[in-house]
Amino acid sequence: MKHRIAIEDNLRPIEEFLSEKGYEVENIDFADAEEITSLIDEFDAFVVTGLDSNMLGIDDVETDAIIIDAAGMSPEQVYDELESRLE
């Protein structure tokens, strides 16, 4: 099964790497909380930089999606993290 990954717009190298590895990757505007809440259950993981675990600013949003803070990580490291956590 191909996993759907939402990724912050400024992470182009990671986006390209994950796409090459078979992930379905989509850029999301993480500043738009309404967009994220409407799509939250459609993704298996969110790849962001510098955001805390409450990325939406809304405490009552629940999701089974993985959230990875890619700050300081290479595309390979993000891929490895996804592979280990999406098993």
| Tally of structural domains, the chain | 1
pLDDT in tens, 46-59: 999 876 555 555 45
pLDDT in tens, 15-72: 999 999 999 999 988 777 777 777 888 999 999 987 655 555 545 556 788 989 999 9
We report the CATH number of the domain holding residue 15 as 3.40.50
Asked if the model's pLDDT at residue 85 lies above 80, the reply is: yes
Please tell me which residue, 49 or 73, carries the higher pLDDT value. 73
Q: How far is CA 67 from the centre of its chain?
A: 6
**DSSP label at residue 53:** S
Domain boundaries, position 31 = 4-85
Neighbouring residues of 44: CB distance < 8 A, sequence distance ≥ 6: 3, 4, 5, 65, 66, 86
